[in-house]
Chain A
Amino acid sequence: MNAKRLPEGGLIDRSKPLWFTWDGKDISGFAGDTLASALLAHGEGVLGRSFKYHRPRGIMSAGVEESGALVTVGEGNRTEPNVKATTQELYSGLVVSGQNAWPNVRFDVGAVNSLFNRFFAAGFYYKTFMGPPLRGRGNGTGVWMQFEKLIRKAAGMGRASREADPDTYEHGHLFCDVLVVGSGPAGLSAARTAAGAGLDVVLVEQDFELGGDWLNHGDKSSREKRLGLLAEVEKAGVRTMTRTTVFGLYDCGTAGLYERVADHVSRPESSHPRHRFWTLRARHTIVATGALERMFAFGNNDRPGVMNVNAGRAYLNRYGVLPGEKIVVATNNDSAYLAAVELSRAGAEVSILETRTTISSQLMRQAGKAEVSLSTRSAPMNVRGSRAVTGLDLAVTAHSGWVAKGSEPCDLLLVSGGWSPVVHLLSHRGVKPVWNPAQACFLPGETSEAIQMAGSAAGIWNTRDCLVSGHAAGARAAKALGCDLPQVEAPVAGGWKSAIEPVYEISVPTGKQKCFVDPQHDVTADDIRLAHREGFVSVEHLKRYTTLGMATDGGKVGNVIGLALMADALGKEIPEVGTTTFRPPYTPVSLGALRGRNVDEHFRPLRRTPMHNWNLEHGATMTMAGLWHRPWYFARSGEGLSEAYVRETETTRASVGLCDVTSLGKIAIQGPDATEFLNRIYTNPFAKLPIGKARYGIMLRDDGLVMDDGTTWRLSETDYFMTTTTAHAAKVMAWLEELLQTRWQDLKVAVTSVSEQWAGSAVAGPRSRDVLAACVEDPSVMENEVFPFMGVIESVLQGGVPCRIARISFSGEMAFEVYVPSDYGPAMMDMLWEQARSAGGCLYGLEALGAMRIEKGHVTGAELDGRVSIDDAGLGKMASPNKSFIGSVLRKRPELLREDRPCLVGIKPRDPGETFNAGSILCEKDKVSGMGEGWITAVTHSPALGHWIGLGFIRGGHEGWTGKTLVAADPVRKGNIDVEVISPHMYDPDGERMHG
């Protein structure tokens, strides 16, 4: 290929040279260039290597359909593999390297694959690499996995960085009346019309320039028309977005947009993201996405120096590059002629190979005038040269197909096998494209949604009709949205003087060369025929067996040819083989854009209690509890987790401990029917809960298994304060709302989440009452007689802070939960801590909380895992036999009542010095295998008992196992430990301490 930059012409800015490197070589281009046009101007031919055979590949197009010039851009943690050189804007400092090759794309050792390519037909790997079947010696997957290692290394195209991406990304949201996709003549025209009617229009263009196909036109009048329409569009108030792709259409007028904010500069500005992902909601969508030019299959049609005709035209007219000296244009339709003429006028020697017998006299005249030679009934059958085109072997039509006839030297072959309208976005909506034999392409199908196709995306081939088509779509959109606008009839598909001739492959009987259908994945015409031979005849089978259309261009070029060849093999028409279903995204979208700012520590929101900083200031080490950070333990100097929680437990049991419990769910339940409501959702009776009392309650799901537990405090006749577990706070709230709004609409109850409104602390231990008494304004409210176990008061802390206190205990000690309005959380902690510290108390975290609850046999999410019945948890007494409640019927299903169900038990080691792990399986001593007898849910060192203890479940409950030695089997960690099963109430079983 002897391409060269022309001294003038094109849309590039020759006054702004840009320097970049290609495989370490410094090269220059101009502002307005793509990487492809700059490399082409510099005469670089081999830019990539193919997937399977490692064949040399060059530029094949000038757009998103590029299948050959795939390169790696950037270095280090900004490495981006598989970039299409044809869409990469040039900038100074751009670093580009070849990929999928060693040592480089110009000389690639991997090309040795080509020598064996006769064995590497489609699907060959399904037939081998399994290992010798001899007497089962090759059984298993070992042999395959050895081969697989080699295959994986060879596959995979570019290499991505292993380092974290340093750039930032953003999400945005847009709303508009009309979304117009594509800024070619049809799109611009549609946008102008719709905006002119007063509608809010967003026009989205994937390129960095507006104009679509107009950008590839060389004549002055096209340029003027483009600029004129652009001015009108701007004046009409259209919001235009360039470097932005509408990558998919989703439900209800939603579109996904992918904006490359900073891919045309070496680094995003510090205030800019690299990419943005926009979710756009439009009331009407006009798809004017144009059409893509196809090739046809013939021998070695993948060589560097073979591209589509429109690319040749784009490089000439837009980028000022004459892409070859001796150019052959092969075509089966009218669209190639203008390019041939323009290239000839620009100084190339151009000849046309026309598959058709006759063409319009106008085209013949044009060609002749521009000294373009024309051979009809002719086509290339093979490309000569391996790393660059040196010439062609030609074929002519005979009565029964193609026969070889002569050759022709050339350095560039441009091919037009017809055009495929870009129907992808409509295909995303589940609308099947319809084959149009006259235009030899798929046209968009009918849709009932507010989506219109316009311009060449609707199969309209000339600019004038595209303008009308866009205008008609704009007017129709306006009318649909209530604007009174005169309607125009949209032109029908077509627009060429002479009909296209459907040609998909130039095959001569003796041809042995590889004829590529989908070059990136090395899918050849023979592969299609092999798929046919083996019965993979539907389009879905064909693409999966041969990988047709699965490459990074998404089958934009190859799919139709593949279908046509299969139809030919079957002796059927193309629609009978099937239509191709395009899946989003239209072009690949960076995962960075899609994830936006939700990365690293911001992957999910972090919930902090109002006392978060207070806890940290007082030495808390935090742990995760769902989305919350909660204190895990408060280490004093020299302490680790184990020392700290044991001390916290001991201190709390000896004097007093404070623990932030704000993350519990809190729900206000109010109304005249609140009591009845609670009585239906809890298993235990709530009808007679006195004002000023709290009750521990369990709620079941509809299926009778435990959903959640917590306490509910009665504040007045009609006002309750419910707490839920931290984990199920949101779920319980939604559940209560569902019950009231759907099932029990007659109940007069309002539920309000007040989780954010109240900050809470547990005050636990024998000195807890003293601590609180010193904090409330009126200490008499704390006296035992007026504030018994399960009592509730509303009172005031010193300084006038309103509070709610309940005497409830999770630790087993005398304990209280005290809540204040959230903003007072830290002040409350200051007050409580001052008293607690002077009482010799401590702050405690989740680990100590866990230790104390295990000692008491209180259950949490580790036990109530969604598979447990209230009886399993040892709380069967809490299921009232005298009332109906949610789950009361289905909890009595036979399997749930079996005596041998696993029930909650305590566990201790046989040897008091031993430890054991949660997650161990409880097995009988002589049978440490199989499904076991039970499992361990939680363990702790019990300072009170002086050894490790645990909770768990075992078949039938603890009575049947008393005194027996069991094995806590933990093969993945600790091995086997001898344990005994005991009652789960391991500390103060009669509850004297909490009642005291």
Chain B
Amino acid sequence: MTRFSAWSVFKAGLSGQKNWDRQWRDPEPRPEYDVVIVGAGLHGLATAYYLGKNHGAKNIAVLEKGWLGGGNAGRNTTIIRSNYMMPGNRQFYEHSLKLWENLSHDLNYNVMFSQRAHVSLFHSPAARDAAARRYNLMRLTGSDGEFWDLARLKKEIPHLNYNHARFPIIGAAVQPRAGNARHDAVAWGYARGADRQGVDIIQNCEVTGMEREGGKVVSLQTSRGSIGVKKVGLAVAGNSSRLWQMAGLGRLPIETHLLQAFVSEPIKPMLDQVVVYGVGGAHFYISQSDKGGMVFGGDLDWYKSYAQRGNLPLVQDVSECTTAILPCLSRVRLLRHWAGLMDMSMDGSPFICKTPLGNLYLNAGWNYGGFKATPASGWYFADLIANDRPDPTIGHFDLNRFSRGANIDERGAGPDPKLHG
């Protein structure tokens, strides 16, 4: 396979782009694999990649009912940050950010991670102090974080609504190392990387059943035949509950909701940072893509749903949030809005854990924070599958944490899945 570089691009230009190979193979499923990951989304692909790279695992398949990276991988607002403070989350997302920082080189695929800074506005002294706790913890644990006062903020982002805001902006908590990446490239980069490790990525292969024997999964029924398995990892956002029930395991602490995302027509660069805020019941995030579109989003649609399409009240709400903070954008036009399925957990934090079945592992419940988690999620899930025990960092990412009372609730919203995010 051709190594990607400026030189290879130059050569391709001279040869009419004829020298490129497939970025990943299109293999037929084998009768049996040592490890099968269900779901070729970002997390599944990353898991397969690290299984090969970190653990030397061979004979791995990733099964995908549609096309790889066709779910939430391509339906998010591409924000990467590590401003989490709860024990476990803090270390996990920091590890993820570190992996992001070198991911393009690691994968030999430009995922376009741009560390353009994540600027979290605050509007009251109470909100400022709550942010201080978070950003102080980040600093004390070796991450980056800083506060911008109003003067600095006005200098960095002059056209925010400083004069007529319903909730006056008083400053911002900033993570300079945070930013955006190109979401599709992450899926493709991991797919190409996994494929290079010998992983079979099998698309259009839907898992329709699981055969159990003696507390283990022995084979998966798929739309492309039965596949024998030694170990199975589930990484199927939006379908976790269904697969869980397929394994005969009952109910999960998960409810599936839809989250809309929005992009405007492309315009010349107007916003260099990721800007987020939450006030007055609003929750909003915006950045500008390299193509020039303003990419933004807000809350869930507030009702449980498996429909990959949202409704107008949120379209309206998110537009209000946009122009509340960037009043110049009301003459810019919304180009597209779409929705993805979010597996919302009961405390807003994910699961990377063992299950009641000895060789079945679960990666689920990413709420709407799954994109930034991709590298660490793959990293620790691969580690869990390879070694059959959780790394201490993900010690509380298990299903029993609610029985123990070890909820990881970044928002303090309580056991109502729609309130997390």
> A619 at the A/B interface (Cβ < 8 Å)?
no
> Chain B: which residue is nearest A247 at the CB level?
B334
> Chain A: which residue is nearest B145 at the CB level?
A972
- The reply to whether A158 and B8 form a contact with Cβ atoms under 8 Å apart is no
Given contact pairs A126-B185, A130-B110, A595 touches B334 in the complex (Cβ within 8 A): no
- The reply to whether B115 and A145 form a contact with Cβ atoms under 8 Å apart is yes
Contacting B at CB under 8 A, from A574-604, are 583-585, 588-592, 594-596, 598-604
Chain B hits for A77, CB < 8 A: 328
Given contact pairs A600-B166, A627-B280, A931-B141, A128 touches B329 in the complex (Cβ within 8 A): no
> A932 at the A/B interface (Cβ < 8 Å)?
yes
Given contact pairs A119-B12, A530-B20, A591 touches B110 in the complex (Cβ within 8 A): no
Given contact pairs A145-B115, A919-B133, A164 touches B338 in the complex (Cβ within 8 A): no
We find that the number of chain A residues with CB closer than 8 angstroms to chain B is 130
Chain A hits for B266, CB < 8 A: 51, 82, 155-157, 552
Given contact pairs A128-B5, A604-B282, A931-B90, A533 touches B22 in the complex (Cβ within 8 A): yes
- What is the CA–CA distance of A624 and B412 in the complex, to the nearest angstrom? 21
How many A-B Cβ pairs are below 8 Å? 373
Given contact pairs A158-B268, A895-B405, A971-B139, A588 touches B334 in the complex (Cβ within 8 A): yes
- Shortest CB-to-CB span from B195 to chain A, Å, is 9
- The reply to whether A590 and B330 form a contact with Cβ atoms under 8 Å apart is yes
Given contact pairs A141-B115, A603-B280, A160 touches B5 in the complex (Cβ within 8 A): no
We find that the number of chain B residues with CB closer than 8 angstroms to chain A is 124
- The reply to whether B415 and A141 form a contact with Cβ atoms under 8 Å apart is no
> B359 at the A/B interface (Cβ < 8 Å)?
no
Given contact pairs A127-B8, A703-B414, A866-B412, A596 touches B290 in the complex (Cβ within 8 A): no
> A227 at the A/B interface (Cβ < 8 Å)?
no
> A211 at the A/B interface (Cβ < 8 Å)?
no
> B34 at the A/B interface (Cβ < 8 Å)?
no
> B307 at the A/B interface (Cβ < 8 Å)?
yes
> A720 at the A/B interface (Cβ < 8 Å)?
no
Given contact pairs A256-B315, A535-B26, A599 touches B320 in the complex (Cβ within 8 A): yes
- Shortest CB-to-CB span from B23 to chain A, Å, is 5
**Which listed segment binds A: B44-52, B100-108, B208-216, B367-375?**
B100-108
Chain A hits for B110, CB < 8 A: 125-130, 144
- The reply to whether A140 and B102 form a contact with Cβ atoms under 8 Å apart is yes
> A673 at the A/B interface (Cβ < 8 Å)?
no
A596: contacting residue among B9, B25, B291, B316, CB under 8 A: B316
Given contact pairs A119-B12, A604-B282, A923 touches B126 in the complex (Cβ within 8 A): no
- The reply to whether A604 and B330 form a contact with Cβ atoms under 8 Å apart is no
> A428 at the A/B interface (Cβ < 8 Å)?
yes
- Shortest CB-to-CB span from B19 to chain A, Å, is 9
> Chain B: which residue is nearest A526 at the CB level?
B17
* Mask of A160-185 contacts with B, CB within 8 angstroms, 1/0: 11111101010100000000000000
Chain A hits for B307, CB < 8 A: 430
- The reply to whether B406 and A160 form a contact with Cβ atoms under 8 Å apart is no
Name, among A136, A151, A918, A938, the residue most crowded by chain B CB atoms within 10 Å (CB to CB). Answer: A918
> A707 at the A/B interface (Cβ < 8 Å)?
yes
- The reply to whether B17 and A932 form a contact with Cβ atoms under 8 Å apart is no
Chain A hits for B136, CB < 8 A: 919-921, 935, 969-972
**Which listed segment binds A: B156-164, B223-231, B234-242, B378-386?**
B156-164
A144: contacting residue among B112, B133, B137, B173, CB under 8 A: B112
- What is the CA–CA distance of A279 and B314 in the complex, to the nearest angstrom? 13
Chain A hits for B116, CB < 8 A: 145
- Shortest CB-to-CB span from B259 to chain A, Å, is 14
Chain A hits for B158, CB < 8 A: 162
> Chain B: which residue is nearest A898 at the CB level?
B405
> B297 at the A/B interface (Cβ < 8 Å)?
no
- The reply to whether B22 and A160 form a contact with Cβ atoms under 8 Å apart is no
- The reply to whether B327 and A164 form a contact with Cβ atoms under 8 Å apart is yes
> A80 at the A/B interface (Cβ < 8 Å)?
yes
- The reply to whether A972 and B412 form a contact with Cβ atoms under 8 Å apart is no
- What is the CA–CA distance of A169 and B327 in the complex, to the nearest angstrom? 13
> B109 at the A/B interface (Cβ < 8 Å)?
yes
Chain A hits for B185, CB < 8 A: 126
> A783 at the A/B interface (Cβ < 8 Å)?
no
Contacting B at CB under 8 A, from A936-982, are 936-938, 969-973
Given contact pairs A541-B67, A919-B130, A920-B136, A592 touches B331 in the complex (Cβ within 8 A): yes
- Shortest CB-to-CB span from A23 to chain B, Å, is 17
- The reply to whether B141 and A535 form a contact with Cβ atoms under 8 Å apart is no
Given contact pairs A534-B21, A702-B415, A540 touches B309 in the complex (Cβ within 8 A): no
- What is the CA–CA distance of A866 and B407 in the complex, to the nearest angstrom? 11
> B114 at the A/B interface (Cβ < 8 Å)?
yes
- Shortest CB-to-CB span from A365 to chain B, Å, is 46
> B388 at the A/B interface (Cβ < 8 Å)?
no
Chain B hits for A920, CB < 8 A: 132-133, 136
> Chain B: which residue is nearest A927 at the CB level?
B140
Contacting A at CB under 8 A, from B305-350, are 307-309, 311-312, 315-316, 319-324, 327-338
- The reply to whether B412 and A865 form a contact with Cβ atoms under 8 Å apart is yes
- The reply to whether B161 and A894 form a contact with Cβ atoms under 8 Å apart is no
Chain A hits for B188, CB < 8 A: 126, 545
> B6 at the A/B interface (Cβ < 8 Å)?
yes
> Chain A: which residue is nearest B309 at the CB level?
A430
> A220 at the A/B interface (Cβ < 8 Å)?
no
> Chain A: which residue is nearest B158 at the CB level?
A162
> B411 at the A/B interface (Cβ < 8 Å)?
yes
Chain A hits for B104, CB < 8 A: 130, 141, 144
A972: contacting residue among B10, B124, B135, B407, CB under 8 A: B135
> A409 at the A/B interface (Cβ < 8 Å)?
no
- Shortest CB-to-CB span from A815 to chain B, Å, is 23
- The reply to whether B332 and A81 form a contact with Cβ atoms under 8 Å apart is yes
- Shortest CB-to-CB span from A639 to chain B, Å, is 18
* Mask of A286-322 contacts with B, CB within 8 angstroms, 1/0: 0000000000000000000000000000000000000
* Mask of A886-924 contacts with B, CB within 8 angstroms, 1/0: 000010011111000000000000000000011111010
Beyond A164-B328, A624-B124, 11 additional pairs, beta carbon < 8 A: A80-B331, A128-B6, A140-B101, A152-B288, A156-B269, A165-B327, A538-B67, A540-B66, A552-B335, A584-B337, A595-B330
Using a CB–CB cutoff of 8 Å, the interface residues on chain B facing chain A are 4-6, 8-10, 12-14, 16-18, 20-26, 66-67, 69-70, 74, 87, 90, 101-102, 104-105, 108-116, 123-124, 126, 128-133, 135-137, 139-142, 145-147, 158-159, 161, 164-167, 173, 182, 184-185, 188-189, 203, 264-270, 279-282, 288, 290-292, 307-309, 311-312, 315-316, 319-324, 327-338, 402-407, 409, 411-415
In the assembled complex, 18 residue pairs joining A and B whose CB atoms fall closer than 8 Å, in A order, are A81-B332, A121-B12, A148-B114, A152-B292, A160-B331, A534-B20, A534-B21, A603-B167, A624-B167, A701-B414, A702-B414, A862-B126, A865-B130, A893-B405, A894-B405, A929-B142, A971-B136, A972-B132
